[in-house]
Structure 1
Amino acid sequence: MPIVDLSAVPHHLPTLAAWHQAEWAYLNPGENLGMRIARMQAYLQGGLVPSTFVYEHRGQPVGSAAIVASDMDDRPQWSPWLASVFVVPEFRRQGVGSRLVRHVMAQAAAAGHRHLYLFTPDQAAFYQNLGWQPIAEESYRGSRVSVMRALLASGSAAES
Protein backbone atom coordinates (compact mmCIF):
# COMPACT_ATOMS: atom_id res chain seq x y z
CA MET A 1 0.00 0.00 0.00
CA PRO A 2 1.84 3.05 -1.22
CA ILE A 3 1.90 6.58 0.14
CA VAL A 4 1.67 9.07 -2.71
CA ASP A 5 1.62 12.85 -2.96
CA LEU A 6 -1.86 14.19 -3.63
CA SER A 7 -0.42 16.16 -6.56
CA ALA A 8 0.15 12.79 -8.29
CA VAL A 9 -3.44 11.65 -7.64
CA PRO A 10 -5.50 14.88 -7.74
CA HIS A 11 -8.72 12.95 -8.39
CA HIS A 12 -8.62 11.96 -4.68
CA LEU A 13 -8.94 15.60 -3.54
CA PRO A 14 -12.78 15.65 -3.30
CA THR A 15 -12.75 12.44 -1.23
CA LEU A 16 -10.12 13.77 1.16
CA ALA A 17 -11.92 17.11 1.45
CA ALA A 18 -15.17 15.33 2.33
CA TRP A 19 -13.41 13.24 5.01
CA HIS A 20 -11.74 16.31 6.49
CA GLN A 21 -14.94 18.36 6.44
CA ALA A 22 -16.86 15.59 8.21
CA GLU A 23 -14.12 15.10 10.81
CA TRP A 24 -13.04 18.67 11.58
CA ALA A 25 -15.75 21.12 10.43
CA TYR A 26 -16.23 22.18 14.05
CA LEU A 27 -12.66 23.55 14.08
CA ASN A 28 -13.32 25.64 10.97
CA PRO A 29 -16.70 27.29 11.55
CA GLY A 30 -18.04 28.96 8.46
CA GLU A 31 -16.08 26.76 6.05
CA ASN A 32 -18.19 24.49 3.86
CA LEU A 33 -17.07 21.60 1.66
CA GLY A 34 -16.68 23.78 -1.43
CA MET A 35 -14.46 26.20 0.45
CA ARG A 36 -12.36 23.33 1.80
CA ILE A 37 -11.90 21.89 -1.70
CA ALA A 38 -10.82 25.32 -2.96
CA ARG A 39 -8.35 25.71 -0.07
CA MET A 40 -6.94 22.24 -0.66
CA GLN A 41 -6.09 23.11 -4.28
CA ALA A 42 -2.83 24.54 -2.86
CA TYR A 43 -1.74 20.96 -2.14
CA LEU A 44 -1.59 20.28 -5.88
CA GLN A 45 1.04 22.91 -6.67
CA GLY A 46 4.11 20.80 -5.88
CA GLY A 47 6.71 21.51 -3.23
CA LEU A 48 6.68 20.21 0.31
CA VAL A 49 4.80 22.94 2.15
CA PRO A 50 1.89 22.67 1.73
CA SER A 51 1.35 19.12 0.59
CA THR A 52 -0.86 16.18 1.39
CA PHE A 53 0.11 12.54 1.28
CA VAL A 54 -2.42 9.83 0.51
CA TYR A 55 -2.27 6.23 1.69
CA GLU A 56 -3.78 4.04 -1.01
CA HIS A 57 -5.15 0.51 -0.90
CA ARG A 58 -5.87 -1.01 -4.29
CA GLY A 59 -5.82 2.45 -5.84
CA GLN A 60 -8.33 3.89 -3.39
CA PRO A 61 -7.49 6.43 -0.67
CA VAL A 62 -7.77 5.10 2.88
CA GLY A 63 -5.83 7.79 4.76
CA SER A 64 -4.14 11.15 4.49
CA ALA A 65 -1.72 13.46 6.25
CA ALA A 66 -0.60 16.96 5.37
CA ILE A 67 2.26 19.31 6.04
CA VAL A 68 1.31 22.99 6.20
CA ALA A 69 3.14 26.19 7.09
CA SER A 70 0.74 27.06 9.92
CA ASP A 71 -2.20 25.21 11.43
CA MET A 72 -3.05 27.46 14.40
CA ASP A 73 -3.89 31.11 13.89
CA ASP A 74 -2.34 32.08 17.22
CA ARG A 75 0.96 30.21 16.68
CA PRO A 76 2.36 31.65 13.42
CA GLN A 77 5.91 31.54 14.80
CA TRP A 78 5.90 27.73 14.71
CA SER A 79 6.34 26.03 11.35
CA PRO A 80 5.78 23.63 9.66
CA TRP A 81 2.81 21.65 10.99
CA LEU A 82 1.56 18.10 10.57
CA ALA A 83 -2.16 18.38 9.84
CA SER A 84 -5.21 16.47 8.65
CA VAL A 85 -4.11 13.00 9.71
CA PHE A 86 -7.12 10.86 8.88
CA VAL A 87 -7.68 7.15 8.33
CA VAL A 88 -11.01 5.65 7.27
CA PRO A 89 -12.51 3.59 10.11
CA GLU A 90 -12.08 0.18 8.48
CA PHE A 91 -8.30 0.75 8.17
CA ARG A 92 -7.69 2.10 11.68
CA ARG A 93 -5.45 0.20 14.10
CA GLN A 94 -3.52 -1.31 11.19
CA GLY A 95 -0.56 1.09 11.21
CA VAL A 96 -1.82 3.36 8.43
CA GLY A 97 -1.86 6.50 10.58
CA SER A 98 1.59 5.76 11.99
CA ARG A 99 3.01 5.23 8.51
CA LEU A 100 1.50 8.49 7.29
CA VAL A 101 2.87 10.45 10.26
CA ARG A 102 6.33 8.92 9.86
CA HIS A 103 6.24 9.68 6.14
CA VAL A 104 5.51 13.37 6.77
CA MET A 105 8.21 13.47 9.47
CA ALA A 106 10.72 11.94 7.06
CA GLN A 107 9.79 14.39 4.30
CA ALA A 108 10.16 17.36 6.67
CA ALA A 109 13.50 16.09 7.99
CA ALA A 110 14.82 15.50 4.47
CA ALA A 111 13.87 19.10 3.61
CA GLY A 112 15.98 20.32 6.54
CA HIS A 113 13.24 21.12 9.05
CA ARG A 114 14.30 20.59 12.68
CA HIS A 115 10.82 20.57 14.22
CA LEU A 116 7.31 19.70 13.23
CA TYR A 117 4.23 20.84 15.17
CA LEU A 118 0.66 19.61 15.49
CA PHE A 119 -2.45 20.08 17.55
CA THR A 120 -4.94 17.41 18.43
CA PRO A 121 -8.18 17.45 20.38
CA ASP A 122 -8.05 13.76 21.28
CA GLN A 123 -5.05 11.83 19.91
CA ALA A 124 -2.12 12.99 22.08
CA ALA A 125 -1.28 9.43 23.23
CA PHE A 126 -1.08 8.24 19.61
CA TYR A 127 1.43 10.97 18.76
CA GLN A 128 3.43 10.51 21.98
CA ASN A 129 3.92 6.87 20.96
CA LEU A 130 5.51 8.21 17.76
CA GLY A 131 7.95 10.44 19.67
CA TRP A 132 5.99 13.70 19.82
CA GLN A 133 6.20 15.81 22.98
CA PRO A 134 3.34 17.88 24.40
CA ILE A 135 4.26 21.55 24.65
CA ALA A 136 0.91 23.18 25.52
CA GLU A 137 -2.69 22.46 26.44
CA GLU A 138 -5.09 25.20 25.40
CA SER A 139 -8.46 26.15 24.04
CA TYR A 140 -8.52 26.57 20.28
CA ARG A 141 -11.68 27.50 18.38
CA GLY A 142 -13.81 26.29 21.27
CA SER A 143 -12.06 22.94 21.80
CA ARG A 144 -9.41 21.79 24.25
CA VAL A 145 -6.33 20.73 22.28
CA SER A 146 -2.86 19.41 22.94
CA VAL A 147 -0.13 21.22 21.03
CA MET A 148 2.82 18.93 20.31
CA ARG A 149 6.26 19.09 18.73
CA ALA A 150 8.53 16.49 17.18
CA LEU A 151 12.27 17.00 17.03
CA LEU A 152 13.47 15.91 13.60
CA ALA A 153 17.00 14.84 12.86
CA SER A 154 17.89 14.71 9.19
CA GLY A 155 17.70 11.11 8.04
CA SER A 156 16.47 9.76 11.39
CA ALA A 157 12.72 9.95 10.84
CA ALA A 158 12.63 6.72 8.88
CA GLU A 159 9.46 5.53 7.23
CA SER A 160 8.11 2.12 8.05
Structure 2
Amino acid sequence: MEIVPLADKKEFIAELAELHHAEWKHLNPSLTLEGRAQAIADAAGRERIPSIFIAMLGSQLIGSAALVQNDMDTKPDLSPWLAAVYVKESFRHQGIATALIRRCEEEAVRSNANAWYLYTESASKLYEKLGWRCMERCEYKGAMVDVMCKPLAS
Protein backbone atom coordinates (compact mmCIF):
# COMPACT_ATOMS: atom_id res chain seq x y z
CA MET A 1 0.00 0.00 0.00
CA GLU A 2 1.15 3.51 -0.80
CA ILE A 3 -0.22 6.87 0.39
CA VAL A 4 0.07 9.71 -2.11
CA PRO A 5 -1.37 13.19 -2.54
CA LEU A 6 -4.51 13.17 -4.67
CA ALA A 7 -2.87 16.12 -6.46
CA ASP A 8 -0.48 13.57 -8.01
CA LYS A 9 -3.28 11.20 -9.03
CA LYS A 10 -6.05 13.51 -10.25
CA GLU A 11 -7.44 10.76 -12.45
CA PHE A 12 -9.04 9.38 -9.25
CA ILE A 13 -11.07 12.51 -8.45
CA ALA A 14 -14.25 11.21 -10.12
CA GLU A 15 -14.05 7.81 -8.40
CA LEU A 16 -13.34 9.42 -5.03
CA ALA A 17 -16.28 11.80 -5.50
CA GLU A 18 -18.58 8.84 -6.16
CA LEU A 19 -17.35 7.00 -3.05
CA HIS A 20 -17.70 10.07 -0.83
CA HIS A 21 -21.08 10.94 -2.32
CA ALA A 22 -22.43 7.46 -1.60
CA GLU A 23 -21.09 7.59 1.97
CA TRP A 24 -22.00 11.15 3.00
CA LYS A 25 -24.64 12.62 0.68
CA HIS A 26 -27.18 12.44 3.55
CA LEU A 27 -25.19 15.16 5.34
CA ASN A 28 -25.50 17.57 2.41
CA PRO A 29 -28.27 16.45 0.04
CA SER A 30 -28.08 19.64 -2.03
CA LEU A 31 -24.45 18.91 -3.00
CA THR A 32 -24.43 17.19 -6.39
CA LEU A 33 -21.92 14.58 -7.44
CA GLU A 34 -20.40 17.16 -9.79
CA GLY A 35 -20.21 19.70 -6.97
CA ARG A 36 -18.53 17.16 -4.74
CA ALA A 37 -16.00 16.32 -7.47
CA GLN A 38 -15.21 20.03 -7.84
CA ALA A 39 -14.81 20.45 -4.07
CA ILE A 40 -12.45 17.48 -3.99
CA ALA A 41 -10.44 18.87 -6.89
CA ASP A 42 -10.23 22.28 -5.17
CA ALA A 43 -8.98 20.69 -1.90
CA ALA A 44 -6.46 18.37 -3.55
CA GLY A 45 -3.30 20.07 -2.30
CA ARG A 46 -0.04 18.22 -1.85
CA GLU A 47 0.74 19.57 1.60
CA ARG A 48 -0.52 21.81 4.37
CA ILE A 49 -4.18 22.90 4.30
CA PRO A 50 -6.11 21.79 2.31
CA SER A 51 -4.66 18.43 1.34
CA ILE A 52 -6.20 15.12 0.35
CA PHE A 53 -4.27 11.88 0.52
CA ILE A 54 -5.28 8.60 -1.06
CA ALA A 55 -4.27 5.04 -0.30
CA MET A 56 -3.34 3.01 -3.37
CA LEU A 57 -2.85 -0.71 -3.76
CA GLY A 58 -1.10 -1.06 -7.08
CA SER A 59 -3.23 1.03 -9.43
CA GLN A 60 -6.38 0.74 -7.28
CA LEU A 61 -7.75 3.53 -5.09
CA ILE A 62 -8.62 2.01 -1.71
CA GLY A 63 -9.06 4.98 0.64
CA SER A 64 -8.75 8.66 1.40
CA ALA A 65 -8.38 11.26 4.11
CA ALA A 66 -8.28 15.04 4.01
CA LEU A 67 -6.92 17.91 6.04
CA VAL A 68 -9.19 20.95 5.64
CA GLN A 69 -9.53 24.38 7.18
CA ASN A 70 -13.08 23.74 8.40
CA ASP A 71 -15.46 20.80 8.10
CA MET A 72 -18.32 21.96 10.31
CA ASP A 73 -19.99 25.26 9.46
CA THR A 74 -21.42 25.47 12.99
CA LYS A 75 -17.90 25.56 14.47
CA PRO A 76 -15.99 28.14 12.40
CA ASP A 77 -13.62 28.88 15.31
CA LEU A 78 -12.10 25.37 15.21
CA SER A 79 -9.34 24.55 12.72
CA PRO A 80 -7.88 22.52 11.07
CA TRP A 81 -10.07 19.44 10.54
CA LEU A 82 -9.53 15.83 9.58
CA ALA A 83 -12.22 14.96 7.05
CA ALA A 84 -13.28 12.43 4.44
CA VAL A 85 -11.62 9.42 6.07
CA TYR A 86 -12.84 6.59 3.89
CA VAL A 87 -11.62 3.07 3.15
CA LYS A 88 -13.35 0.74 0.71
CA GLU A 89 -15.23 -1.91 2.65
CA SER A 90 -13.14 -4.89 1.52
CA PHE A 91 -9.96 -3.15 2.76
CA ARG A 92 -11.19 -2.08 6.22
CA HIS A 93 -9.62 -3.26 9.49
CA GLN A 94 -6.13 -3.42 7.95
CA GLY A 95 -4.67 -0.17 9.33
CA ILE A 96 -5.29 1.83 6.15
CA ALA A 97 -7.44 4.50 7.81
CA THR A 98 -4.84 4.86 10.56
CA ALA A 99 -2.06 5.34 8.00
CA LEU A 100 -4.11 7.95 6.13
CA ILE A 101 -4.92 9.79 9.36
CA ARG A 102 -1.25 9.83 10.37
CA ARG A 103 -0.30 11.29 6.98
CA CYS A 104 -2.85 14.07 7.45
CA GLU A 105 -1.58 14.63 10.98
CA GLU A 106 1.93 15.26 9.63
CA GLU A 107 0.52 18.10 7.53
CA ALA A 108 -1.53 19.45 10.44
CA VAL A 109 1.66 19.62 12.52
CA ARG A 110 3.43 21.43 9.66
CA SER A 111 0.62 24.00 9.66
CA ASN A 112 1.64 24.91 13.24
CA ALA A 113 -1.78 24.08 14.68
CA ASN A 114 -1.94 23.19 18.38
CA ALA A 115 -4.87 20.81 17.89
CA TRP A 116 -7.09 19.46 15.15
CA TYR A 117 -10.70 18.38 14.96
CA LEU A 118 -13.11 15.96 13.34
CA TYR A 119 -16.68 14.85 13.53
CA THR A 120 -17.93 11.32 13.07
CA GLU A 121 -21.23 9.50 13.15
CA SER A 122 -19.89 6.06 13.92
CA ALA A 123 -16.08 5.80 14.15
CA SER A 124 -15.41 7.33 17.57
CA LYS A 125 -13.78 4.16 18.88
CA LEU A 126 -11.19 4.20 16.07
CA TYR A 127 -10.33 7.82 16.78
CA GLU A 128 -10.16 7.29 20.54
CA LYS A 129 -7.57 4.55 19.96
CA LEU A 130 -5.54 7.14 18.03
CA GLY A 131 -5.58 9.68 20.86
CA TRP A 132 -8.67 11.75 20.00
CA ARG A 133 -11.14 12.76 22.70
CA CYS A 134 -14.82 13.56 22.34
CA MET A 135 -15.59 17.23 22.96
CA GLU A 136 -19.34 16.91 22.50
CA ARG A 137 -22.11 14.89 20.92
CA CYS A 138 -24.53 16.97 18.90
CA GLU A 139 -26.89 16.97 15.96
CA TYR A 140 -25.31 18.16 12.72
CA LYS A 141 -27.15 18.22 9.41
CA GLY A 142 -29.72 15.75 10.69
CA ALA A 143 -27.23 13.24 12.11
CA MET A 144 -25.94 12.64 15.63
CA VAL A 145 -22.17 13.14 15.60
CA ASP A 146 -19.27 13.18 17.99
CA VAL A 147 -17.06 16.26 17.66
CA MET A 148 -13.54 15.20 18.56
CA CYS A 149 -10.23 16.93 19.20
CA LYS A 150 -6.61 15.83 19.36
CA PRO A 151 -3.64 17.91 20.55
CA LEU A 152 -0.79 18.16 18.07
CA ALA A 153 2.85 17.89 19.05
CA SER A 154 4.87 20.61 17.37
The match for 1:65 is 65
Query: Can you give the 5+ residue segments of structure 1 that lack an aligned partner in the other structure?
Result: 155-160
Q: 1:104 to 1:45 in 2, by over 3 A?
A: closer
Superposition deviation, residue 46 in structure 1:
4.7
CA RMSD across the alignment = 1.1
Query: Can you give the 5+ residue segments of structure 2 that lack an aligned partner in the other structure?
Result: none
The match for 2:121 is 121
Alpha-carbon distance in 2 for matches of 1:133, 1:51: 23
3-state DSSP class of the match of 1:66? strand
**Match of 1:17, as an amino acid?**
A
Superposition deviation, residue 48 in structure 1:
1.9
Superposition deviation, residue 106 in structure 1:
1.7
State TM-score, norm by structure 2.
Answer: 0.96
Alpha-carbon distance in 1 for matches of 2:61, 2:132: 26
Alpha-carbon distance in 2 for matches of 1:38, 1:100: 22
Superposition deviation, residue 102 in structure 1:
1.2
Superposition deviation, residue 143 in structure 1:
0.5
Superposition deviation, residue 43 in structure 1:
2.1
Superposition deviation, residue 47 in structure 1:
4.4
Aligned length: 154
The match for 1:53 is 53
Identity percentage of aligned residues:
37
Alpha-carbon distance in 2 for matches of 1:85, 1:46: 17
Which structure 2 residues correspond to residues 84-99 of structure 1 after superposition, within 5 A?
84-99=84-99
Q: Which moved more, 1:101-110 or 1:123-132?
A: 101-110
Alpha-carbon distance in 2 for matches of 1:80, 1:149: 10
State TM-score, norm by structure 1.
Answer: 0.92
8 Å contact from structure 1 (residues 6, 43) kept in 2: no
Q: Deviations over 1:8-45 (max 9, x none)?
A: 11111111111000000000121111111111121235
**Match of 2:153, as an amino acid?**
A
The match for 2:36 is 36
The match for 1:157 is none
Alpha-carbon distance in 2 for matches of 1:120, 1:79: 16
Alpha-carbon distance in 1 for matches of 2:135, 2:113: 18
